[in-house]
Amino acid sequence: MLMDISSEMIHALLPVYLVTVLGTSALVVGVIEGIAEATASITKVFSGALSDRLGRRKQLAAIGYGLAAVTKPVFPLAPTVGWLVAARFIDRVGKGIRGAPRDALVADIAPPHLRGASFGLRQSLDTLGAFLGPLLAIGLMWWTQDAFQTVFWFAVVPAFLAFGLIVFAVKEPAHPPGHRSVRAPLSRRELARLGGAYWWVVAVGAVFTLARFSEAFLVLRAQEAGLALMWVPAVLVVMNLVYSVAAYPAGALSDRVGRIRLLVAGLVVLVAADLALAFVPGLWGVGVGVVLWGLHMAFTQGLLATLVADTAPADLRGTAFGFFNLVTGVALLAASVVAGLLWDQLGSSATFLAGAGFALVALVGLVALQGRLNSNRRITP
């Protein structure tokens, strides 16, 4: 939660800062965001595999949080776009190092019958930070009269608090009897143990991600609709408020009614969000689209992580989360670049219509995934 407060204080303002202060294009914003997230995803493969080999998760998570914290001061000090790209790159390396071990740690701690609720709670707390971050950015932009660098300095504080908590407050659980560390988690033999159901989850997650490009384009859509500069972070405030409130109930509900039903509902909501953002004029369209976007995130992101935990062997969960995040990160890079190109060449409506099209394609993948999960006795579909 604290790291998300820090990151989202910066992320809520960075697209507008790049476009209005440094004079970049929407395509550059898409490339920066895509590279940043893809970097995190690639790093997660190796950190997740290393956590399986070591049999420990907390140390790698602490390194990742620490690296993200020490890069935060670069944002207010950066004089050029190149410095900002480097800062985002290093910050996302930190995210990549901590991501897969942290998710595997959640799966190790959570009881199987409450796994959906556990990942939903984690997602709610993450998103609560993502809600509070832009809200603080709005207040600080008002207080400082649009002084971007001052707001970026304030974002440094919660980042270091997050690092302190992971080091001093989080305890790693003891290994169960019979647990073994995996000598070569990235070997062909070990990857084969992940199974067909897991790889179907990865494939469906990739198509999901193609439909869900960076939220930076929601910010740009609000600015295009005429939202005042000070209020632009409200886009992420509203989206993350809806996301935070709905993520835990969605995860808990999935433990009772099944993951796939809620994922289908999330896709339908995403299509509705894209259509609102593409066709409903003015700030009303932005408002409806942003609320629906947050609801779709609540119904999908925690559930996809839960499915990874459901389908992967316990001793390979770090590797499983790492590969899942690698594939979805590459998809996010592609989605963000395509979204930026469509925006620059054809306008914002084309960007959101393309997202709706990929969402419909993902529905086909869910049908196949449902069959796989029904035949896999290790999970409750």
pLDDT per residue rounded down to tens, the chain (381 residues) = 899 888 888 877 777 777 777 777 767 776 776 677 667 767 777 787 787 777 777 888 888 899 889 888 888 887 777 787 778 778 878 888 887 788 878 877 777 777 778 787 887 888 788 778 878 888 888 888 777 888 889 989 999 999 998 888 877 776 665 555 666 677 777 778 887 788 888 888 888 888 887 777 888 888 888 887 777 778 877 887 888 888 888 888 888 877 788 888 888 999 999 999 989 888 888 889 999 998 998 888 878 888 888 888 877 888 888 888 778 877 877 888 888 888 888 888 888 999 888 888 888 877 777 766 665 544 443
The answer to whether residues 315 and 54 touch, using CB atoms and an 8 Å cutoff, is no
Which tokens hold the place of 299? 């119904």
Q: Rounded to a whole number, what is the largest CA-CA distance in the chain?
A: 60
Domain boundaries of the chain, sorted by first residue: 2-168+190-374
- Interatomic CA distance for residues 188 and 87, integer angstroms: 35
Closest CA to 241 of 159, 285, 297, 305: 297
Burial of 188 by CB count in 10 Å (0-12 exposed, 13-18 middle, 19+ buried)? Answer: exposed
For the domain bounded by 2-168+190-374, which CATH number is listed? 1.20.1250.20
**Could you please report the per-residue DSSP string of 313-374?**
-GGGHHHHHHHHHHHHHHHHHHHHHHHHHHHHHH-HHHHHHHHHHHHHHHHHHHHHHHHHHH
pTM for this prediction: 0.68
